[in-house]
Structure 1
Amino acid sequence: MYAPPSNPVDERRMTAAHHRAAATLGVTVIGPACWGWNGRTLGRRGRHREHGDCWLRLDSAPVGRRPDVLWEGASEAWAALPEVPQPRLYAVHETREDQTLYHAELAAYLSSRVCSPGPILRTPLDLPDRWWASLRASLASVSAARTDRPTVRREWLDHAFPRFLGMPAPRHVEYTTAHGDLHWSNLTRQGPVLLDWEAYGIAPRGYDAALLLAYSLLVPRTAARVRVELGHLLDTSAGRVARLTAAAELLENAARGDHPELVPELRRFAADAGASTRRQAAS
Protein backbone atom coordinates (compact mmCIF):
# COMPACT_ATOMS: atom_id res chain seq x y z
CA MET A 1 0.00 0.00 0.00
CA TYR A 2 1.26 3.47 -0.90
CA ALA A 3 0.68 7.02 0.34
CA PRO A 4 -2.18 9.22 -0.88
CA PRO A 5 -1.51 11.68 -3.74
CA SER A 6 0.95 14.40 -2.80
CA ASN A 7 -1.56 17.05 -3.87
CA PRO A 8 -4.48 17.26 -1.37
CA VAL A 9 -6.75 18.40 -4.20
CA ASP A 10 -6.16 15.11 -6.02
CA GLU A 11 -6.79 13.15 -2.83
CA ARG A 12 -10.14 14.88 -2.29
CA ARG A 13 -11.07 14.48 -5.97
CA MET A 14 -10.33 10.76 -5.99
CA THR A 15 -12.09 10.19 -2.67
CA ALA A 16 -15.22 11.95 -3.90
CA ALA A 17 -15.19 10.02 -7.18
CA HIS A 18 -14.80 6.76 -5.26
CA HIS A 19 -17.88 7.60 -3.18
CA ARG A 20 -19.86 8.33 -6.34
CA ALA A 21 -18.78 5.04 -7.91
CA ALA A 22 -19.78 3.18 -4.74
CA ALA A 23 -23.22 4.76 -4.80
CA THR A 24 -23.71 3.95 -8.49
CA LEU A 25 -22.68 0.30 -8.05
CA GLY A 26 -24.65 -0.21 -4.85
CA VAL A 27 -21.63 -0.60 -2.58
CA THR A 28 -21.48 0.39 1.07
CA VAL A 29 -17.85 1.24 1.77
CA ILE A 30 -16.60 -0.16 5.07
CA GLY A 31 -12.83 -0.39 4.79
CA PRO A 32 -9.92 2.07 4.98
CA ALA A 33 -8.50 3.75 1.90
CA CYS A 34 -5.73 1.81 0.13
CA TRP A 35 -3.80 3.96 -2.33
CA GLY A 36 -1.82 2.63 -5.28
CA TRP A 37 1.53 3.74 -6.69
CA ASN A 38 1.88 7.56 -6.73
CA GLY A 39 -1.70 7.80 -5.46
CA ARG A 40 -2.90 6.76 -8.91
CA THR A 41 -5.55 4.32 -7.71
CA LEU A 42 -7.83 4.12 -4.69
CA GLY A 43 -9.33 0.88 -3.41
CA ARG A 44 -11.62 0.15 -0.46
CA ARG A 45 -13.44 -2.83 0.95
CA GLY A 46 -17.21 -2.70 0.74
CA ARG A 47 -20.46 -4.62 1.02
CA HIS A 48 -22.80 -5.27 -1.90
CA ARG A 49 -26.41 -6.39 -1.55
CA GLU A 50 -25.93 -9.22 -4.06
CA HIS A 51 -22.21 -10.03 -3.99
CA GLY A 52 -21.50 -9.55 -0.30
CA ASP A 53 -17.94 -8.58 0.63
CA CYS A 54 -16.31 -6.82 -2.32
CA TRP A 55 -13.45 -4.55 -3.35
CA LEU A 56 -13.99 -1.30 -5.22
CA ARG A 57 -10.97 0.07 -7.06
CA LEU A 58 -10.92 3.45 -8.81
CA ASP A 59 -8.49 4.89 -11.34
CA SER A 60 -8.56 8.18 -13.24
CA ALA A 61 -7.06 9.78 -16.33
CA PRO A 62 -7.46 13.04 -18.25
CA VAL A 63 -10.08 13.07 -20.99
CA GLY A 64 -8.42 12.14 -24.29
CA ARG A 65 -5.75 10.04 -22.58
CA ARG A 66 -7.70 6.95 -21.57
CA PRO A 67 -5.13 4.20 -20.84
CA ASP A 68 -6.90 1.46 -22.79
CA VAL A 69 -4.25 -1.18 -22.10
CA LEU A 70 -4.30 -0.69 -18.33
CA TRP A 71 -8.02 -0.20 -17.90
CA GLU A 72 -9.00 -3.25 -19.91
CA GLY A 73 -6.51 -5.68 -18.37
CA ALA A 74 -8.66 -7.06 -15.56
CA SER A 75 -11.67 -7.60 -17.82
CA GLU A 76 -9.63 -9.38 -20.48
CA ALA A 77 -7.78 -11.56 -17.98
CA TRP A 78 -11.03 -12.54 -16.25
CA ALA A 79 -12.57 -13.58 -19.56
CA ALA A 80 -9.48 -15.37 -20.88
CA LEU A 81 -8.28 -17.21 -17.77
CA PRO A 82 -11.17 -18.81 -15.85
CA GLU A 83 -8.84 -21.51 -14.50
CA VAL A 84 -6.39 -19.05 -12.91
CA PRO A 85 -7.14 -17.98 -9.31
CA GLN A 86 -7.96 -14.28 -9.50
CA PRO A 87 -10.56 -12.01 -7.90
CA ARG A 88 -14.01 -12.47 -9.45
CA LEU A 89 -14.81 -9.34 -11.45
CA TYR A 90 -18.42 -8.26 -10.95
CA ALA A 91 -18.69 -4.95 -12.76
CA VAL A 92 -16.78 -2.17 -14.51
CA HIS A 93 -18.08 1.39 -14.53
CA GLU A 94 -16.69 4.49 -16.26
CA THR A 95 -17.75 8.09 -15.87
CA ARG A 96 -16.57 11.52 -16.89
CA GLU A 97 -16.41 14.51 -14.57
CA ASP A 98 -15.28 17.75 -16.23
CA GLN A 99 -11.98 16.85 -17.92
CA THR A 100 -11.33 13.61 -16.01
CA LEU A 101 -12.32 10.02 -16.77
CA TYR A 102 -12.88 7.59 -13.88
CA HIS A 103 -12.67 3.81 -14.18
CA ALA A 104 -14.11 1.72 -11.34
CA GLU A 105 -13.84 -2.07 -10.96
CA LEU A 106 -16.00 -4.00 -8.52
CA ALA A 107 -14.47 -7.37 -7.59
CA ALA A 108 -14.71 -10.03 -4.90
CA TYR A 109 -13.01 -9.26 -1.61
CA LEU A 110 -10.26 -11.68 -0.61
CA SER A 111 -9.72 -12.39 3.07
CA SER A 112 -6.27 -13.94 2.57
CA ARG A 113 -3.39 -11.58 3.24
CA VAL A 114 -0.96 -10.66 0.50
CA CYS A 115 2.59 -11.96 0.77
CA SER A 116 4.04 -8.50 1.34
CA PRO A 117 2.61 -5.02 1.99
CA GLY A 118 4.72 -3.69 -0.90
CA PRO A 119 6.16 -5.13 -4.13
CA ILE A 120 9.63 -5.76 -2.66
CA LEU A 121 9.95 -8.67 -0.28
CA ARG A 122 11.76 -7.66 2.92
CA THR A 123 11.26 -10.66 5.21
CA PRO A 124 11.58 -14.38 4.43
CA LEU A 125 8.47 -16.27 3.33
CA ASP A 126 7.79 -19.88 4.19
CA LEU A 127 5.33 -21.01 1.54
CA PRO A 128 4.27 -24.66 1.15
CA ASP A 129 5.04 -26.80 -1.87
CA ARG A 130 1.39 -26.67 -2.96
CA TRP A 131 1.58 -22.85 -3.12
CA TRP A 132 4.45 -23.04 -5.58
CA ALA A 133 2.76 -25.79 -7.59
CA SER A 134 -0.34 -23.61 -7.92
CA LEU A 135 1.73 -20.62 -9.00
CA ARG A 136 3.51 -22.70 -11.66
CA ALA A 137 0.15 -23.92 -12.98
CA SER A 138 -1.20 -20.36 -13.09
CA LEU A 139 1.83 -19.05 -14.97
CA ALA A 140 1.57 -21.92 -17.47
CA SER A 141 -2.09 -21.07 -18.11
CA VAL A 142 -1.30 -17.38 -18.52
CA SER A 143 1.55 -18.11 -20.93
CA ALA A 144 -0.74 -20.29 -23.07
CA ALA A 145 -3.43 -17.61 -23.39
CA ARG A 146 -3.73 -15.54 -26.56
CA THR A 147 -3.83 -11.76 -26.51
CA ASP A 148 -2.56 -8.85 -28.57
CA ARG A 149 -2.24 -6.53 -25.56
CA PRO A 150 1.31 -5.10 -25.28
CA THR A 151 3.03 -5.20 -21.89
CA VAL A 152 6.73 -4.95 -22.78
CA ARG A 153 7.25 -3.35 -26.17
CA ARG A 154 10.24 -3.98 -28.43
CA GLU A 155 10.83 -0.22 -28.63
CA TRP A 156 11.20 -0.06 -24.85
CA LEU A 157 13.75 -2.90 -24.86
CA ASP A 158 15.82 -1.10 -27.50
CA HIS A 159 15.82 2.02 -25.33
CA ALA A 160 16.15 0.50 -21.85
CA PHE A 161 18.89 -2.10 -22.34
CA PRO A 162 21.60 0.38 -23.45
CA ARG A 163 20.55 3.01 -20.94
CA PHE A 164 20.14 0.88 -17.81
CA LEU A 165 22.18 -2.23 -18.56
CA GLY A 166 24.91 -0.87 -20.82
CA MET A 167 24.22 -3.42 -23.55
CA PRO A 168 22.09 -3.63 -26.68
CA ALA A 169 18.78 -5.43 -26.50
CA PRO A 170 18.96 -8.97 -27.89
CA ARG A 171 18.01 -9.32 -31.53
CA HIS A 172 15.72 -12.24 -30.87
CA VAL A 173 13.16 -12.06 -28.07
CA GLU A 174 10.60 -14.79 -27.54
CA TYR A 175 7.27 -13.35 -26.45
CA THR A 176 4.36 -14.90 -24.61
CA THR A 177 1.43 -13.75 -22.49
CA ALA A 178 2.21 -12.55 -18.96
CA HIS A 179 0.46 -11.28 -15.86
CA GLY A 180 2.74 -8.30 -16.31
CA ASP A 181 3.15 -7.13 -12.70
CA LEU A 182 3.99 -10.21 -10.65
CA HIS A 183 5.33 -9.08 -7.30
CA TRP A 184 4.76 -10.02 -3.68
CA SER A 185 1.87 -7.67 -2.95
CA ASN A 186 0.01 -9.09 -5.96
CA LEU A 187 0.10 -12.65 -4.57
CA THR A 188 -1.93 -13.92 -1.62
CA ARG A 189 -0.54 -16.23 1.04
CA GLN A 190 -3.35 -18.69 0.44
CA GLY A 191 -3.68 -20.07 -3.06
CA PRO A 192 -2.01 -18.00 -4.35
CA VAL A 193 -4.61 -15.74 -5.91
CA LEU A 194 -3.05 -13.41 -8.50
CA LEU A 195 -4.12 -9.79 -8.07
CA ASP A 196 -3.99 -6.60 -10.16
CA TRP A 197 -4.20 -7.66 -13.80
CA GLU A 198 -4.03 -4.22 -15.39
CA ALA A 199 -0.64 -4.99 -17.05
CA TYR A 200 -1.81 -8.32 -18.52
CA GLY A 201 -0.35 -8.78 -22.01
CA ILE A 202 2.61 -9.81 -24.15
CA ALA A 203 6.11 -9.81 -22.63
CA PRO A 204 9.36 -11.77 -23.00
CA ARG A 205 8.89 -15.43 -22.07
CA GLY A 206 9.64 -15.92 -18.37
CA TYR A 207 9.04 -12.24 -17.56
CA ASP A 208 6.66 -12.92 -14.66
CA ALA A 209 9.11 -15.32 -12.99
CA ALA A 210 12.00 -12.91 -13.57
CA LEU A 211 10.10 -9.99 -12.09
CA LEU A 212 9.16 -11.98 -8.99
CA LEU A 213 12.79 -13.00 -8.57
CA ALA A 214 13.99 -9.41 -8.94
CA TYR A 215 11.55 -8.27 -6.25
CA SER A 216 12.96 -11.02 -3.95
CA LEU A 217 16.62 -10.00 -4.08
CA LEU A 218 16.73 -8.41 -0.61
CA VAL A 219 15.80 -11.79 0.92
CA PRO A 220 18.34 -14.30 -0.42
CA ARG A 221 16.60 -17.33 1.09
CA THR A 222 13.34 -16.62 -0.69
CA ALA A 223 15.14 -15.57 -3.87
CA ALA A 224 16.84 -18.97 -3.87
CA ARG A 225 13.43 -20.64 -3.52
CA VAL A 226 12.10 -18.67 -6.48
CA ARG A 227 15.09 -19.80 -8.55
CA VAL A 228 14.37 -23.43 -7.70
CA GLU A 229 10.60 -23.38 -8.09
CA LEU A 230 10.58 -21.31 -11.30
CA GLY A 231 13.90 -22.44 -12.69
CA HIS A 232 12.22 -23.98 -15.75
CA LEU A 233 11.30 -20.41 -16.74
CA LEU A 234 14.44 -18.63 -15.57
CA ASP A 235 17.30 -20.93 -16.56
CA THR A 236 16.77 -20.86 -20.32
CA SER A 237 17.85 -18.52 -23.12
CA ALA A 238 14.46 -16.81 -22.98
CA GLY A 239 14.61 -16.71 -19.20
CA ARG A 240 17.94 -14.91 -19.22
CA VAL A 241 16.47 -12.26 -21.53
CA ALA A 242 13.51 -12.00 -19.15
CA ARG A 243 15.82 -11.52 -16.17
CA LEU A 244 17.63 -8.72 -17.98
CA THR A 245 14.28 -7.17 -18.89
CA ALA A 246 13.13 -7.24 -15.26
CA ALA A 247 16.42 -5.70 -14.13
CA ALA A 248 16.17 -2.91 -16.70
CA GLU A 249 12.58 -2.14 -15.70
CA LEU A 250 13.31 -1.90 -11.99
CA LEU A 251 16.48 0.12 -12.59
CA GLU A 252 14.39 2.53 -14.66
CA ASN A 253 11.91 2.75 -11.79
CA ALA A 254 14.76 3.38 -9.36
CA ALA A 255 16.00 6.23 -11.57
CA ARG A 256 12.60 7.83 -10.96
CA GLY A 257 13.01 7.43 -7.20
CA ASP A 258 11.34 4.06 -6.58
CA HIS A 259 13.12 1.63 -4.24
CA PRO A 260 16.72 2.85 -4.67
CA GLU A 261 17.80 0.33 -2.02
CA LEU A 262 17.29 -2.42 -4.61
CA VAL A 263 19.78 -0.95 -7.11
CA PRO A 264 23.00 -2.75 -5.96
CA GLU A 265 21.24 -6.12 -6.02
CA LEU A 266 19.70 -5.38 -9.41
CA ARG A 267 23.10 -4.59 -10.89
CA ARG A 268 24.48 -7.91 -9.63
CA PHE A 269 21.34 -9.65 -10.86
CA ALA A 270 21.75 -8.13 -14.33
CA ALA A 271 25.47 -8.91 -14.43
CA ASP A 272 24.76 -12.55 -13.63
CA ALA A 273 22.11 -12.84 -16.35
CA GLY A 274 24.34 -11.04 -18.85
CA ALA A 275 27.29 -13.32 -18.10
CA SER A 276 25.09 -16.38 -18.55
CA THR A 277 23.91 -15.05 -21.90
CA ARG A 278 27.50 -14.43 -23.07
CA ARG A 279 28.62 -17.90 -21.99
CA GLN A 280 25.79 -19.49 -23.93
CA ALA A 281 26.57 -17.42 -27.01
CA ALA A 282 30.23 -18.48 -26.85
CA SER A 283 29.48 -22.20 -26.44
Structure 2
Amino acid sequence: MATAFAHATNALGATIQSPPVWGWHGRTLSHRTNHPQHGDCWLRLLSLPEQKAGGKLWEGTKQAHTTFPAVRKPALHALHDRAENGYAYRAELTAYVDASVLSPDPVLRHELDLTNKWFTTIRTTLSTIAATPTDRTAVRQEWISRAVPEYTGQPAPQIQHWDCAHGDFHAANLTHDATLLDWEGWGLAPRGYDIAMLYAYAQLAPKTAAHIRCEFAPLLDSAIGQTALLVVCAELLQSASRGDHPELTPKLRALVEECATPIADSGSVHSQAL
Protein backbone atom coordinates (compact mmCIF):
# COMPACT_ATOMS: atom_id res chain seq x y z
CA MET A 1 0.00 0.00 0.00
CA ALA A 2 2.81 2.43 0.88
CA THR A 3 4.58 1.73 -2.41
CA ALA A 4 1.35 2.14 -4.38
CA PHE A 5 0.63 5.37 -2.52
CA ALA A 6 4.06 6.73 -3.43
CA HIS A 7 3.37 5.92 -7.10
CA ALA A 8 0.03 7.73 -6.87
CA THR A 9 1.49 10.87 -5.31
CA ASN A 10 4.12 11.02 -8.05
CA ALA A 11 1.58 10.42 -10.81
CA LEU A 12 -0.80 13.06 -9.49
CA GLY A 13 1.86 15.58 -8.54
CA ALA A 14 0.87 15.64 -4.87
CA THR A 15 3.11 16.05 -1.83
CA ILE A 16 2.36 14.26 1.46
CA GLN A 17 1.66 16.65 4.34
CA SER A 18 0.49 14.37 7.19
CA PRO A 19 0.99 11.00 8.87
CA PRO A 20 -0.87 8.04 7.31
CA VAL A 21 -4.50 7.33 8.10
CA TRP A 22 -5.50 3.69 7.64
CA GLY A 23 -9.04 2.67 6.84
CA TRP A 24 -11.05 -0.33 7.96
CA HIS A 25 -8.81 -3.43 8.18
CA GLY A 26 -6.12 -1.66 6.19
CA ARG A 27 -8.15 -1.58 2.99
CA THR A 28 -7.49 2.12 2.44
CA LEU A 29 -4.55 4.43 3.12
CA SER A 30 -4.89 8.21 3.16
CA HIS A 31 -2.75 11.30 3.70
CA ARG A 32 -3.35 15.00 3.66
CA THR A 33 -1.45 16.30 0.65
CA ASN A 34 -0.65 19.50 -1.19
CA HIS A 35 -1.22 19.85 -4.92
CA PRO A 36 0.25 22.64 -7.08
CA GLN A 37 -3.11 23.32 -8.75
CA HIS A 38 -5.68 22.35 -6.11
CA GLY A 39 -3.86 23.29 -2.89
CA ASP A 40 -4.68 21.30 0.24
CA CYS A 41 -6.11 17.92 -0.73
CA TRP A 42 -6.89 14.51 0.69
CA LEU A 43 -5.41 11.56 -1.16
CA ARG A 44 -7.05 8.22 -0.46
CA LEU A 45 -5.79 4.92 -1.86
CA LEU A 46 -8.23 2.02 -2.19
CA SER A 47 -6.94 -1.54 -2.61
CA LEU A 48 -8.83 -4.56 -3.94
CA PRO A 49 -7.86 -7.88 -5.51
CA GLU A 50 -7.41 -7.13 -9.20
CA GLN A 51 -10.38 -9.27 -10.27
CA LYS A 52 -12.73 -7.20 -8.06
CA ALA A 53 -11.66 -3.79 -9.32
CA GLY A 54 -14.32 -1.85 -11.19
CA GLY A 55 -17.25 -2.77 -8.92
CA LYS A 56 -19.47 -0.71 -6.64
CA LEU A 57 -16.82 0.25 -4.08
CA TRP A 58 -14.33 1.06 -6.80
CA GLU A 59 -16.61 3.48 -8.63
CA GLY A 60 -18.53 4.96 -5.68
CA THR A 61 -16.59 8.20 -5.19
CA LYS A 62 -16.38 8.91 -8.92
CA GLN A 63 -20.09 8.29 -9.47
CA ALA A 64 -21.11 10.30 -6.40
CA HIS A 65 -19.14 13.26 -7.75
CA THR A 66 -21.46 13.56 -10.75
CA THR A 67 -24.65 12.20 -9.17
CA PHE A 68 -24.87 14.50 -6.12
CA PRO A 69 -23.61 17.95 -7.21
CA ALA A 70 -25.75 19.74 -4.60
CA VAL A 71 -24.72 17.61 -1.61
CA ARG A 72 -21.99 18.92 0.70
CA LYS A 73 -19.06 16.58 0.10
CA PRO A 74 -15.37 16.88 -0.86
CA ALA A 75 -14.84 17.80 -4.52
CA LEU A 76 -13.12 15.10 -6.57
CA HIS A 77 -10.11 16.48 -8.43
CA ALA A 78 -8.44 13.44 -9.97
CA LEU A 79 -8.15 9.65 -10.04
CA HIS A 80 -5.17 7.38 -10.63
CA ASP A 81 -5.37 3.61 -11.15
CA ARG A 82 -2.57 1.08 -10.92
CA ALA A 83 -2.31 -2.73 -10.74
CA GLU A 84 0.57 -4.80 -9.40
CA ASN A 85 1.09 -8.32 -8.01
CA GLY A 86 -2.58 -9.26 -8.27
CA TYR A 87 -3.94 -6.12 -6.59
CA ALA A 88 -5.55 -3.04 -8.07
CA TYR A 89 -5.15 0.40 -6.52
CA ARG A 90 -7.28 3.47 -7.06
CA ALA A 91 -6.08 6.82 -5.74
CA GLU A 92 -8.73 9.52 -5.25
CA LEU A 93 -7.53 13.11 -4.93
CA THR A 94 -10.24 15.19 -3.29
CA ALA A 95 -10.49 18.61 -1.69
CA TYR A 96 -9.29 18.74 1.91
CA VAL A 97 -12.07 19.40 4.43
CA ASP A 98 -10.96 21.66 7.27
CA ALA A 99 -13.89 20.83 9.54
CA SER A 100 -13.22 17.97 11.94
CA VAL A 101 -15.23 14.76 11.91
CA LEU A 102 -17.73 14.15 14.71
CA SER A 103 -15.84 11.04 15.87
CA PRO A 104 -12.53 9.34 15.04
CA ASP A 105 -14.36 6.04 14.45
CA PRO A 106 -17.96 5.05 13.61
CA VAL A 107 -18.97 4.37 17.23
CA LEU A 108 -19.74 7.70 18.89
CA ARG A 109 -18.24 7.61 22.41
CA HIS A 110 -18.72 11.23 23.52
CA GLU A 111 -21.64 13.63 23.58
CA LEU A 112 -22.02 16.21 20.82
CA ASP A 113 -23.63 19.64 20.80
CA LEU A 114 -25.20 19.51 17.35
CA THR A 115 -26.92 22.70 16.25
CA ASN A 116 -30.29 23.21 14.58
CA LYS A 117 -28.39 24.38 11.49
CA TRP A 118 -26.42 21.13 11.42
CA PHE A 119 -29.59 19.04 11.57
CA THR A 120 -31.26 21.18 8.91
CA THR A 121 -28.34 20.61 6.53
CA ILE A 122 -28.26 16.88 7.27
CA ARG A 123 -32.01 16.60 6.72
CA THR A 124 -31.66 18.32 3.34
CA THR A 125 -28.71 16.09 2.45
CA LEU A 126 -30.60 12.90 3.32
CA SER A 127 -33.68 13.99 1.39
CA THR A 128 -31.58 14.82 -1.68
CA ILE A 129 -29.80 11.47 -1.57
CA ALA A 130 -33.00 9.50 -0.93
CA ALA A 131 -34.78 11.09 -3.90
CA THR A 132 -31.95 10.26 -6.35
CA PRO A 133 -32.67 7.45 -8.84
CA THR A 134 -29.94 4.82 -9.01
CA ASP A 135 -29.26 1.24 -10.05
CA ARG A 136 -26.54 0.89 -7.41
CA THR A 137 -27.31 -1.28 -4.37
CA ALA A 138 -26.07 -0.68 -0.83
CA VAL A 139 -28.17 -3.35 0.94
CA ARG A 140 -29.79 -6.38 -0.67
CA GLN A 141 -33.01 -8.13 0.31
CA GLU A 142 -31.18 -11.44 0.06
CA TRP A 143 -28.75 -10.33 2.75
CA ILE A 144 -31.60 -8.99 4.93
CA SER A 145 -33.47 -12.29 4.64
CA ARG A 146 -30.42 -14.18 5.83
CA ALA A 147 -28.77 -11.82 8.32
CA VAL A 148 -31.71 -10.41 10.29
CA PRO A 149 -32.81 -13.81 11.68
CA GLU A 150 -29.22 -14.94 12.20
CA TYR A 151 -27.98 -11.89 14.11
CA THR A 152 -31.13 -10.51 15.73
CA GLY A 153 -33.35 -13.56 16.17
CA GLN A 154 -36.21 -11.65 14.55
CA PRO A 155 -38.12 -12.47 11.36
CA ALA A 156 -36.64 -10.85 8.29
CA PRO A 157 -38.75 -7.97 6.95
CA GLN A 158 -39.62 -7.88 3.27
CA ILE A 159 -38.69 -4.36 2.27
CA GLN A 160 -41.26 -2.63 0.12
CA HIS A 161 -39.77 0.87 0.08
CA TRP A 162 -36.20 1.41 -1.06
CA ASP A 163 -34.42 4.76 -1.29
CA CYS A 164 -30.96 5.80 -2.34
CA ALA A 165 -28.68 5.94 0.71
CA HIS A 166 -25.14 7.02 1.50
CA GLY A 167 -24.70 3.56 3.02
CA ASP A 168 -22.08 4.40 5.65
CA PHE A 169 -23.74 7.25 7.51
CA HIS A 170 -21.99 7.52 10.88
CA ALA A 171 -20.11 10.06 12.98
CA ALA A 172 -16.70 9.29 11.46
CA ASN A 173 -18.03 10.22 8.01
CA LEU A 174 -19.76 13.43 9.14
CA THR A 175 -18.05 16.70 9.99
CA HIS A 176 -19.03 19.54 12.30
CA ASP A 177 -20.02 21.62 9.27
CA ALA A 178 -22.23 18.76 7.98
CA THR A 179 -19.94 17.65 5.16
CA LEU A 180 -20.47 13.99 4.27
CA LEU A 181 -17.37 11.89 3.57
CA ASP A 182 -16.61 8.41 2.14
CA TRP A 183 -19.00 7.77 -0.74
CA GLU A 184 -17.78 4.40 -1.93
CA GLY A 185 -20.79 2.32 -0.81
CA TRP A 186 -23.85 4.41 -1.73
CA GLY A 187 -26.91 2.86 -3.34
CA LEU A 188 -30.39 1.54 -2.65
CA ALA A 189 -31.22 0.57 0.94
CA PRO A 190 -34.37 0.31 3.08
CA ARG A 191 -36.00 3.70 3.57
CA GLY A 192 -34.50 5.40 6.62
CA TYR A 193 -31.33 3.28 6.59
CA ASP A 194 -28.88 6.18 6.85
CA ILE A 195 -30.37 7.91 9.88
CA ALA A 196 -30.99 4.53 11.54
CA MET A 197 -27.25 3.84 11.19
CA LEU A 198 -26.26 7.19 12.69
CA TYR A 199 -28.64 6.58 15.59
CA ALA A 200 -27.46 3.01 16.23
CA TYR A 201 -23.79 3.98 16.21
CA ALA A 202 -24.55 6.81 18.70
CA GLN A 203 -25.89 4.58 21.48
CA LEU A 204 -22.82 5.01 23.72
CA ALA A 205 -23.55 8.76 23.77
CA PRO A 206 -27.13 8.62 25.07
CA LYS A 207 -27.85 12.37 25.08
CA THR A 208 -26.75 12.71 21.47
CA ALA A 209 -28.65 9.57 20.51
CA ALA A 210 -31.78 11.01 22.12
CA HIS A 211 -31.24 14.25 20.21
CA ILE A 212 -30.98 12.36 16.91
CA ARG A 213 -34.08 10.35 17.83
CA CYS A 214 -36.02 13.53 18.58
CA GLU A 215 -34.96 15.28 15.37
CA PHE A 216 -35.97 12.30 13.24
CA ALA A 217 -38.87 11.03 15.33
CA PRO A 218 -41.40 10.91 12.44
CA LEU A 219 -39.12 8.38 10.75
CA LEU A 220 -37.48 6.48 13.61
CA ASP A 221 -40.76 6.05 15.51
CA SER A 222 -42.56 4.71 12.43
CA ALA A 223 -42.83 1.12 11.23
CA ILE A 224 -40.47 1.98 8.36
CA GLY A 225 -37.92 3.47 10.73
CA GLN A 226 -38.06 0.50 13.07
CA THR A 227 -37.55 -1.80 10.10
CA ALA A 228 -34.50 0.19 9.00
CA LEU A 229 -33.17 0.11 12.56
CA LEU A 230 -33.59 -3.67 12.73
CA VAL A 231 -31.65 -4.05 9.47
CA VAL A 232 -28.87 -1.78 10.74
CA CYS A 233 -28.68 -3.68 14.03
CA ALA A 234 -28.27 -6.93 12.10
CA GLU A 235 -25.43 -5.39 10.11
CA LEU A 236 -23.63 -4.04 13.17
CA LEU A 237 -24.14 -7.25 15.14
CA GLN A 238 -22.68 -9.18 12.23
CA SER A 239 -19.70 -6.84 12.33
CA ALA A 240 -19.43 -7.31 16.11
CA SER A 241 -19.34 -11.07 15.63
CA ARG A 242 -16.14 -10.50 13.65
CA GLY A 243 -14.56 -8.48 16.45
CA ASP A 244 -15.65 -4.93 15.62
CA HIS A 245 -17.05 -2.58 18.32
CA PRO A 246 -18.00 -5.35 20.85
CA GLU A 247 -18.81 -2.69 23.46
CA LEU A 248 -21.78 -1.61 21.33
CA THR A 249 -23.39 -5.07 21.31
CA PRO A 250 -25.56 -4.71 24.47
CA LYS A 251 -27.00 -1.45 23.15
CA LEU A 252 -27.72 -3.05 19.80
CA ARG A 253 -29.49 -5.93 21.52
CA ALA A 254 -31.66 -3.40 23.35
CA LEU A 255 -32.55 -1.75 20.06
CA VAL A 256 -33.46 -5.13 18.60
CA GLU A 257 -35.86 -5.66 21.49
CA GLU A 258 -37.39 -2.29 20.73
CA CYS A 259 -37.96 -3.41 17.15
CA ALA A 260 -39.29 -6.84 18.16
CA THR A 261 -42.97 -5.92 17.88
CA PRO A 262 -44.55 -6.92 14.54
CA ILE A 263 -43.37 -4.54 11.85
CA ALA A 264 -45.46 -3.78 8.78
CA ASP A 265 -43.49 -1.89 6.18
CA SER A 266 -45.62 0.91 4.77
CA GLY A 267 -45.18 4.00 2.66
CA SER A 268 -46.42 6.42 5.33
CA VAL A 269 -42.98 8.01 5.75
CA HIS A 270 -41.65 9.42 2.51
CA SER A 271 -38.05 10.24 1.65
CA GLN A 272 -38.87 13.97 1.73
CA ALA A 273 -39.71 13.62 5.46
CA LEU A 274 -36.23 12.41 6.40
SS in 2 for 1:277: coil
Of residues 20, 31, 45 in structure 2, which corresponds to 1:33?
Answer: 20
Question: 1:18 — aligned with what?
Answer: 5
Give the whole-Å Cα distance in 1 for the aligned partners of 2:146 and 2:41. Answer: 40
Q: List aligned pairs for 1:66-85, cutoff 5 A.
A: 66=53, 68-85=55-72
Q: Give runs of aligned pairs for residues 9-158 of structure 1, distance below 5 A.
A: 14-66=1-53, 68-158=55-145
Note if contact 2:159-2:190 (Cα within 8 Å) is conserved in structure 1. Answer: no
Once the two structures are superposed, what CA deviation does each residue of 1:170-221 show, in whole Å capped at 9, x if it has no partner? 134311000000010100012x000001111000000000000000001110
Q: Which residue number in structure 1 is paired with residue 221 of structure 2?
A: 235
Code of the residue aligned with 2:37 in structure 1: it is E
Alpha-carbon shift at residue 276 of structure 1 (Å): 6.5
Shift of 1:140: 0.3
Please point out which of 250, 269, 273 is paired with 2:236.
250
Q: Which deviations, in whole Å up to 9, do the C-alpha atoms of 1:26-72 show, x marking residues without a partner? A: 10111110000111100000011110000000011122122610111
Is the Cα–Cα contact under 8 Å of residues 107 and 202 in structure 2 kept in the other structure?
A: yes
Overall identity of the aligned pairs, in % = 46
**How many aligned residue pairs are there?**
265
- Structure 1 residues 184 and 104, CA gap change in structure 2 (3 angstroms): same
Instruction: After TM superposition, list the pairs within 5 Å mapping 1:160-179 onto structure 2.
Output: 160-179=147-166
- Partners of 1:53 and 1:233 lie apart in 2 by 38
Match of 2:210 among 200, 209, 224: 224
Q: Distance in 2 between matches of 1:232 and 1:24?
A: 49
Q: Aligned with 2:254: secondary structure?
A: helix
Cα distance in 2 between the residues matched to 1:77 and 1:114: 20
Are 2:243 and 1:263 aligned?
Answer: no
Shift of 1:22: 0.6
Pair 1:193 & 2:182 matched: no
**Which structure 2 residue ranges, 5 or more long, are not aligned?**
267-274
1:59 is paired with a residue of what secondary structure? strand
Question: How many angstroms apart in 2 are the aligned matches of 1:202 and 1:142?
Answer: 10
**Cα pair 1:61 1:67 within 8 Å, conserved:** no
Q: TM-score, normalised by structure 1?
A: 0.91
The structure 1 residue matched to 2:195, chosen from 203, 206, 209, is 209
- 1:262 alignment partner AA: L
- Identify the residue that residue 273 of structure 1 maps to in structure 2: 259
Structure with greater contact order relative to length (CA < 8 Å, sep ≥ 6)? 2
Q: Distance in 1 between matches of 2:138 and 2:225?
A: 17
Give the aligned partner of residue 167 of structure 2.
180
Contact 1:173/1:238, CA 8 A, preserved across alignment: no
**Which ranges of structure 1 fall in alignment gaps of 5 or more residues?**
1-13
